[in-house]
């Protein structure tokens, strides 16, 4: 292993603890498109399987948490996908050139700097569990927090029903 063994350790742990039940796949459109569970992805990466499909999957995860919420093994897919990105970066399989300012899983990025500058916070909207996900993304959360608050209030009071 390389200089930073933590990403490989997280992948190894996920590969060992994932039951491959598919609950995460059922909850995630991205995983459904690839028909892979995190444990399988972890094992492939650790075995040196470096396909554009795996790199694409690792990069495209938006860390929304749907797969984590449905996991009966309590695997944290956000930590897994962040570690998979680091693992591939450490091995020169991914490049950050041109992406550094917008990497939202970094301590600082263009969005966090803007929110800090203008004291934009939505921490009070967090809860342990929701029935509906409204994913405003970085731009809406940063540049239109009033829309995030209005959508949150609307969903809290029933929103739309299927």
Residue 9: band (very low, low, confident or very high) from pLDDT cuts 50, 70, 90: very high
Question: Are 109 and 127 found together in one domain?
Answer: yes
Q: Are residues 111 and 62 in the same domain?
A: no
Predicted local confidence at residue 133, as pLDDT: 75
Tally of structural domains, the chain: 2
Q: Which residues contact 59 (CB under 8 A, 6 or more apart)?
A: 85, 94
78 and 105, same domain (yes or no)? no
Return the number of other C-beta atoms located less than 10 Å from residue 82's C-beta.
18
Say yes or no: 22 and 77 in one domain.
Answer: yes
| pLDDT (tens digit per residue) in 51-99 | 999 998 998 888 888 888 889 988 888 899 989 999 999 999 988 777 7
Q: What is the arithmetic mean of pLDDT over 137-162?
A: 82
Same domain, 82 and 130: no
Pair 85, 105 in one domain: no
CB 76 within 8 A of CB 65: no
- Predicted TM-score (pTM) of the model is 0.65
Q: Determine which helix (DSSP H) or strand (DSSP E) holds 101, and give its type and residue range.
A: none
Same domain flag for 15 and 49: yes
Q: Give the residue numbers spanning the domain of 27.
A: 6-90
Q: Which of 5, 27, 139, 134 lies closest to 75, judged by CA?
A: 27
Same domain, 10 and 86: yes
- Position 161 in a domain: no
Cβ atoms 14, 75 nearer than 8 A: yes
Q: Are 17 and 81 part of one and the same domain?
A: yes
Question: Do both 66 and 86 map to the same domain?
Answer: yes
Q: Looking at the domain assignment, is residue 106 inside a domain?
A: yes
Judge if 84 and 105 occupy the same domain. Answer: no
Interior angle at CA 79, CA 74 and CA 83, nearest 5: 135
Q: What is the C-alpha separation between 116 and 48, in angstroms, rounded?
A: 40
Is it the case that residue 123 has pLDDT exceeding 50? Answer: yes
Mean pLDDT of 141-156: 88
On whether residue 1 sits in a domain, the answer given is no
Same domain, 70 and 24: yes
């Amino acid at each position: 292993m390389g200089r930073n063994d933590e990403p490989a350790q997280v992948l190894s742990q996920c590969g060992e603890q994932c039951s491959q039940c598919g609950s995460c796949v059922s909850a995630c459109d991205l995983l459904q498109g690839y028909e892979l569970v995190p444990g399988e992805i972890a094992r492939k990466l650790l075995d040196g399987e470096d396909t554009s499909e795996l790199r694409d999957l690792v990069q495209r995860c938006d860390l929304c948490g749907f797969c984590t919420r449905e996991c009966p093994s309590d695997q944290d897919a956000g930590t897994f996908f962040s570690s998979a990105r680091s693992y591939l970066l450490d091995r020169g399989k991914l490049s950050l050139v041109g992406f550094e300012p917008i990497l939202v899983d970094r301590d600082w990025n263009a969005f966090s700097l803007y929110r800090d500058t203008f004291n934009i916070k939505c921490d009070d909207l967090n809860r342990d569990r929701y029935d509906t996900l409204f994913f405003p993304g970085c731009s809406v959360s940063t540049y239109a927090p009033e829309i995030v608050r209005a959508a949150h209030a609307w969903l809290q009071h029933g929103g739309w029903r299927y």
